[in-house]
Chains A and B, each alone.
Chain A
Amino acid sequence: MSCATSDLEVQEEEEEEGGGGDHEERAHLEEGGGGGGSFQTQPLRHDDLKEMLDSNKDSLKLEAMKRIVAMIARGKNASDLFPAVVKNVACKNIEVKKLVYVYLVRYAEEQQDLALLSISTFQRGLKDPNQLIRASALRVLSSIRVTIIVPIMMLAIKEAASDMSPYVRKTAAHAIPKLYSLDPEQKDQLIEVIEKLLADKTTLVAGSVVMAFEEVCPERIDLIHKNYRKLCNLLIDVEEWGQVVIINMLTRYARTQFLNPNINESLLEEGSGGDKTFYGSDEDEDEDEEEKEKNAEAPAMAKRKPYVMDPDHRLLLRNTKPLLQSRNAAVVMAVAQLYFHLAPKAEVGVIAKALVRLLRSHSEVQYVVLQNVATMTIKRRGMFEPYLKSFYIRSTDPTQIKVLKLEVLTNLANETNISTILREFQTYIKSMDKDFVAATIQAIGRCATNIGEVRDTCLNGLVQLLSNRDELVVAESVVVIKKLLQMQPEKHSDIIKHMAKLTDNIQVPMARASILWLIGEYCEHVPKIAPDVLRKMAKSFTNEEDIVKLQIINLAAKLYLTNSKQTKLLTQYVLNLAKYDQNYDIRDRARFIRQLIVPTEKSGALSKYAKKLFLALKPAPVLESPFKDRDHFQLGSLSHLLNAKAGGYQELPDWPEAAPDPSVRNVEVKDSVPEWTKCSSREKRKEKKVEKPFYSDSEGESGPTESADSESDSASGSESGSGSEESGSGSESVESEEGSESEEEEEDEEEKNKKKKKKELKKPVQESESEQSSEEEERKPERKSKQRKSDSESESDEEESESESSQSESEDSESEAEIKKKKKAAESKPPTKPVKKENKKEKKEMSLLDLDDFEPAPSPQVTPVNTFLSNSLVTDLEGLSLSDTVLSPATIAPSSALKNYELLHRITGEGLSVEYCFSRQPFSPDANMVAVQMQFTNNATSDTKNLHMEDVKLQSGMRVKEFPEIELLPAGETAAAVMGIDFCDSTQAANFQLCTHTKKFFVSIQPPVGELMRPIFLTENEFKKEQGQLMGMNEITEKLTLDAKCRNEHAIVQRVTTAANLSRVPCGSDKECRFAGRTVTSSSLVLVTVATKEEGAAQLTVNCEKMLIGTMLVKDILLALTQ
């Protein structure tokens, strides 16, 4: 029916529009010179367009195409022009071409044979050197829904999936669902392509390929394992639409792979294991290990095993959280549902604020958000309670929004806030929007049932509403009152009495009918009034509305059954009146009831049951939210909104009983990598890995290639770094293993990346350059070297780097250093200290560079931030498109690796060797102290006990915070400790005795001047201002010639920050590097400027209040830059 009418409409419109179009065409033809066409009649009206398309002039073709596209846009049929249009598919003019593509995509399905003519053009386009042409050819080719070209499409997609341009790969990802919908048979092959694209590291591709995954093979959750961490880390830089898709997919993934974080809730309620609850803090990993052992011993306890969040689960929660600040409501909603479904109860609260913010958005957005909030408020009311007022209703809200807000308010109501809510409801009742008023009355009813304290107040309020003039309001009130009374009728006989009185005043038929029903139902509670009401009603029976009459008959019947003495005659009177009523319904009812209640010979068996029929106990209606239990649908989904499963909806799986093996997410390389020596113990460690997932991974994948948020990763890196520091103080051997393992793990990954990148680069055309914006081109020279170092971005091949000059040399040697470190990390496992040291020395000579910079602290747990990692991380970040001058100090500071000093040689120490380094971490017990990280190694055969320090000899003003005594250092083990020394801004040594249970050693720590300061962050302007105030005596300037390997900005920064604990100051010019810091004790400013000139000439300026420090610092930096 509706279809037919619309067709008619369309036809009418067609005619109308057709006329208009004709005008247009005529006008144009006169102008275009083809005058003859204007006399054409209707059926041939496209001839002129064809003519124009056949002409040689691009402008005519373009004009014709524009008019054709306009026709398509208006929904007119332009299919008869297909042959004329398709000829122009190879047109040189890009504008015409684009419009032809638009036309083809629309009509190819209808004209398959002709469409095939165009295929060869696209195939040619797929080979074009310009990535955009390749992409657009693929886009159109895959949009032509012609089954015959499926093999061609398949081939094209496969090829494009390994294209070197990420944009083409993105298009390939888009093409996958197109092909799948055209021919589902291709699924297996397409999954292969998806798998390949999932491994892609660019943010551009990530969103699109996950979308393809969701459409083609959402059940293949196994494809995600290896890419899980990468997706989590890339997420923040993916475009907003991709974020939504990825987050939704990861929600489902997490539900299959991790344990329910709220599992302890139920255990707590049982009153057991209350002391062992902690929610997923990463540091508690080893405790968990112990815990596990215990549990193994006592299987009975297994059930009470405390929950520990999988680090990958935590990673997901942590990386999605900032997206709550997205401008895109869909992203915010996606994160909100993720938190709702996955986060521990205590953490879900963070989403409330963001969701409330969305209520300021368009009304459609509000509508969807409120639906979801309504569901959430049922499960977690507390979350939204602080925002109660945000759900207050405005008279300008659309009705549907009002009703939803009402729903939320009702869900939020509890004993404490009910009075405010009811007061608010009172104003709503006076609204002009009657649907809304009705909803409000229902809401009051629900509050009354849920909160016993206010039931009476609500009832009274509702009773008042019975006098409202609006029928709807009264009817609704009566219905709600009726429901409330049904719960405890005996208590409210006075209200029933009151309502009985109302029958005199109330004229609304629906309300009268409801009251009569109520009196009939509870006539036992109002035995005196009920017959009286019936009497009155009988009197006015003939004047009542039909529904009221029906209820009068009902009332009469019920009274007859309970109180036949008083009402027999009345009933008969009513029934008689009804017998002759005009309405057949009423006559029928009267006849039926008479037979039932008045026993006659004919009535038979039924009348015996009359009482049961009429006075059956009616169950009290349940007043509950329509949003109850809606959360079994994934929130934010269409299915949730409709409360019905939509096509293609993926169920949100239940949490697994036991977590599946978390090691599936570990990314490893199977074959050995040629550049570095295999270590024998590697296999062993891998086995261990399976048992225990590493958790420093958040750092591993960091540095997304196109990161806009360059700081984000480094920040998160340092965050987790400090986390591991805390746990490191426990310093067990397991812990140190952990560190080295994760390090290696990352290297594995990076190696893999490298290999992959190289493979890509073997392709003939070197397009990687063009991927970068032209702006970047300007800075290419300096950037190149950085990029190469940054593993995730390293697009360089070996040849190139060899041919490069000094820069690349240094770069090479750096990478050598990296390799060496890897070796060390590999070897460090069984700590045979002497051998290792010798190794180191050898290497040192070979590498021809001061490798001190790159040597990590001997034992990984000493340096909280993994030096190698942060190093590459920083270079990664600097290689990003963003101006590297804005990096915050946090990202720069750890880049310079820590230098180790020897405190006690193992020979003099009789087996005990001690090394120390300045960790550059703030010393938490006293901010004025420099933190010194000590590393004790017991090389002796016997254990060392009670390691502590004594007899500290200091210059005046200096202070020391001793490290905590190490009670036992078993043979062959290492331990770490931190001490703080306030050097009073001088390079005086701190002398003390290092004592064991048997011996004492005199040792001293003397700081290099560069360690007496801490980095601060200044802006360029602040720097200039401060510098201006530290002129004259406080300024020291030296001219120098830069070392050959240190003539780029990066190397300078590297060396200066190694020599002194300063942070980089952003600077507009690339000829100047600026650094700032403050001395630790007196907080005097230290400003360093390195201005580079031609041919390695440079000028070093140090501004410092403390002239002595300034002078020494100049010496140190000079040394660092010239060596």
Chain B
Amino acid sequence: MIHSLFLINHSGDIFLEKHWKSVISRSVCDYFFEAREKAVDPENVPPVLQTPHHYLISIYRGKLFFLSVIQTEVAPLFVIEFLHRVADTIQDYFGECSEGIIKDNIVTVYELLEEMLDNGFPLATESNVLKEMIRPPTILRSVVNTLTGSSNVGDTLPTGQLSNVPWRRAGVKYTNNEAYFDVIEEIDAILDKSGTTVFAEIQGVIEACVRLTGMPDLTLSFMNPRLLDDVSFHPCVRFKRWESERVLSFIPPDGNFTLMNYHVSSQNLVAIPVYVKQSISFFETGPCGRLDITIGPKQTMGKTVENMMVTIHMPKAVLNANLTATQGTYTYDLTTKVLVWDIGKLNPQKLPNLRGSLSTQVGVPKPEDNPSLNIDLKIQQLAISGLKVSRLDMYGEKYKPFKGVKYLTKAGKFQVKMLCTAHFSTNWRSEYI
């Protein structure tokens, strides 16, 4: 299926290649570079390209392109999903997935790739299994390794592959047994110019960190599972149990993993935690415009909004911004035309405000496209949908584990369309609408 893989950095250098079948020359990447040049942003490179003899399927992660070469029909999502899994594994092993990290650990990465695919077909992709075969580096071990000259390859043969629970390694032992769950919710919303919600939904994820001895069987139940509209699970979760009882029953993998993703039913009204009053205008005459933004808390359930940040992609014509912020700092990147206002904690008594003038290019007609405002925020100890974990039970092992649940609400793709009072030449408007 997957014939070869090339890792390509931001500037177009191939810094790692792996072939699972016979070797394919790197010149095949030229087709990709061509497409890369055509697309302005790296995000805009089509994920699937056709060349005379091969198909190229690529993903863009952490400023790197993972480019796979395919020769015959295969489900494109299969490849894309696998490439992301490779990136996830690298991240899991080394903490981040960047060119530097991969170059530093090139042998380990190469070995990982060798284990993950056999003849182009995925073999072992579960991190628990891989870690049995190729040990991840730790600071201590890398020191030891340089002294003794041993590598990260496992001395003992893996057993995980053969256990009945393919995602959990066998023989796990901890002195402190703990299971922590983070319920993280993101609000995706589009607010229109007047502040009414065009579209809003909540996407949640439960990240788990489970360090439990032996083969625990956990059951996680919710106070209000009916909130969950659509869910997707880690393979360890038993589907039927969820269908019939709305509880998550699973034997967890060891370590960190994503237990489930969910979507909160759209019937429920989504609480929008902040409101934005904003206006941006450009004067018909003169090289300037005005910007005025105020942000205040709306439905925060009594919690404080933190890490507030506002990002605006300005029209190209805006040369510079001369603004004053009552709270936080702002930066305007002249090349990318991105205005970032970092507010920090939102104080309900004194609403943060950003206002001032924008200088536009002289002679160029004033911009007529509306910029939009992207908001970033965090609310600790709150799941905005109201989802609550009621209990966690453990079966199969006798010890008492430490259990914990943390809630966090974040802004996902939270967008406010800006009110841009630019004037069109509206001579014909009255006639036709």
Contact = CB atoms under 8 A, between A and B. Distances in A.
Interface of A: 2-3, 5-7, 10, 13, 59-60, 62-63, 66, 69-70, 72-75, 94-95, 98-99, 102, 105-106, 109, 130-133, 139, 142-143, 145, 165-167, 171, 174-175, 177-178, 181, 204, 208, 211, 236, 239-241, 244, 248, 322, 325-330, 332-334, 353-354, 356-357, 360, 362-365, 367-369, 389-390, 392, 394-396, 398-400, 427, 430-432, 460-461, 463-464, 467-469, 498, 505, 636-639, 641-642, 644, 646-650, 706, 708-712, 715-716, 770-776, 880-883, 885-886, 888, 890, 1019-1021, 1066, 1068-1069
Contacts of A329: 77, 80-81
B63 interface: no
8 contacts: A6-B27, A63-B149, A368-B48, A392-B198, A395-B313, A430-B370, A886-B219, A1019-B393
Interface in B273-320: 313, 315-316
Interface string B225-244: 00001111111101111111
B55 A646 contact: yes
A888 B80 contact: no
Given A75-B17, A464-B433, A62 B149 contact: yes
B413 A400 contact: no
B361 interface: no
B15 A365 contact: no
A248 B16 CA distance: 32
Given A239-B166, A363-B43, A75 B239 contact: no
B165 to A, nearest CB: 6
Given A325-B232, A710-B238, A642 B111 contact: no
Interface stretch (B341-349, B402-410, B421-429): B421-429
Given A94-B153, A363-B43, 9 more contacts: A62-B151, A98-B111, A322-B239, A357-B232, A365-B81, A467-B428, A881-B163, A1020-B395, A1021-B393
Given A7-B27, A368-B80, A712-B238, A66 B107 contact: yes
A467 B427 CA distance: 9
Instruction: Please provide the 10 A-B residue pairs with the shortest distance between their CB atoms, ordered closest to farther.
Output: A881-B164, A648-B72, A773-B163, A59-B149, A883-B396, A712-B240, A322-B239, A649-B73, A364-B47, A460-B432
A716 B238 CA distance: 13
Contacts of A334: 75
Contact of B75 (A326, A638, A648, A716): A638
Contact of B217 (A460, A774, A883): A883
A771 B77 contact: no
A715 B240 contact: yes
B429 A73 contact: no
Given A362-B80, A430-B369, A886-B217, A174 B119 contact: yes
B73 A648 contact: yes
A408 to B, nearest CB: 15
A152 to B, nearest CB: 17
B78 A211 contact: no
Contact of A236 (B46, B159, B239): B239
A132 B396 CA distance: 28
A357 B263 contact: yes
Interface string B97-109: 0000000001101
B157 interface: yes
A327 B315 contact: no
Given A362-B84, A400-B46, A638-B74, A94 B155 contact: yes
Contacts of B107: 66, 69-70, 73, 99
Nearest to B113: A73
B409 to A, nearest CB: 16
B27 A2 contact: yes
A1036 to B, nearest CB: 28
B336 interface: no
Contact of A431 (B47, B157, B369): B369
B249 A772 contact: no
Contacts of A174: 118-119, 121, 123
Nearest to A4: B27
Given A102-B110, A464-B428, A467-B428, A637 B395 contact: no
Contacts of A890: 244
Contacts of B324: none
A325 B239 contact: yes
B128 interface: no
B370 A368 contact: no
Nearest to A98: B153
B365 interface: yes
Contacts of B428: 463-464, 467, 498
Contacts of B393: 1019-1021
Contacts of B16: 73-75
Given A6-B30, A13-B13, A649-B73, A709 B232 contact: no
A708 B251 contact: yes
Nearest to A248: B75
A1074 to B, nearest CB: 12
B76 A368 contact: yes
Nearest to B163: A773
Interface of B: 1, 13-19, 21-23, 26-27, 29-31, 34, 41, 43-44, 46-48, 50, 55, 58-61, 70-78, 80-82, 84, 106-107, 109-111, 114, 118-119, 121-123, 125, 148-151, 153-155, 157-159, 161-166, 170-171, 190, 192, 198-199, 201, 203, 214-215, 217, 219, 229-236, 238-245, 249, 251, 258, 261, 263, 313, 315-316, 365, 368-372, 374, 393, 395-398, 413, 415, 417, 420, 424-425, 427-429, 431-433
Contacts of B230: 353-354, 356-357
Nearest to B153: A95
A737 B61 CA distance: 60
Contacts of B241: 711, 888
The residue in A139, A364, A498, A636 that gathers the most chain B C-beta atoms within 10 A of its C-beta is A364
Nearest to B237: A325
A888 to B, nearest CB: 7
A1096 to B, nearest CB: 24
A589 B244 CA distance: 76
Contact of B415 (A394, A710, A774): A394
A551 to B, nearest CB: 22
Nearest to B242: A325
A208 B258 CA distance: 26
A711 B249 CA distance: 10
Contacts of A880: 164
A390 B397 CA distance: 44
A181 B118 contact: no
B417 A427 contact: yes
The residue in A106, A430, A710 that gathers the most chain B C-beta atoms within 10 A of its C-beta is A430
Given A62-B151, A880-B164, A773 B170 contact: yes
The residue in B21, B159, B245, B427 that gathers the most chain A C-beta atoms within 10 A of its C-beta is B21
B47 A885 contact: no
Contacts of A886: 217, 219, 249, 395-396
Given A3-B30, A649-B73, A650-B73, A73 B78 contact: no
A392 B26 CA distance: 39
A145 B21 CA distance: 9
Given A208-B121, A325-B239, A167 B74 contact: no
Contact of B48 (A3, A63, A638): A638
B111 A330 contact: no
Contacts of A171: 118
A467 B81 contact: no
The residue in A7, A139, A204, A886 that gathers the most chain B C-beta atoms within 10 A of its C-beta is A886
Contacts of B106: 69-70, 73-74
A143 B433 CA distance: 70
A641 B76 contact: yes
A396 B75 contact: no
Contact of B395 (A95, A395, A647, A883): A883
Contacts of B74: 638
Given A98-B153, A240-B235, A139 B162 contact: no
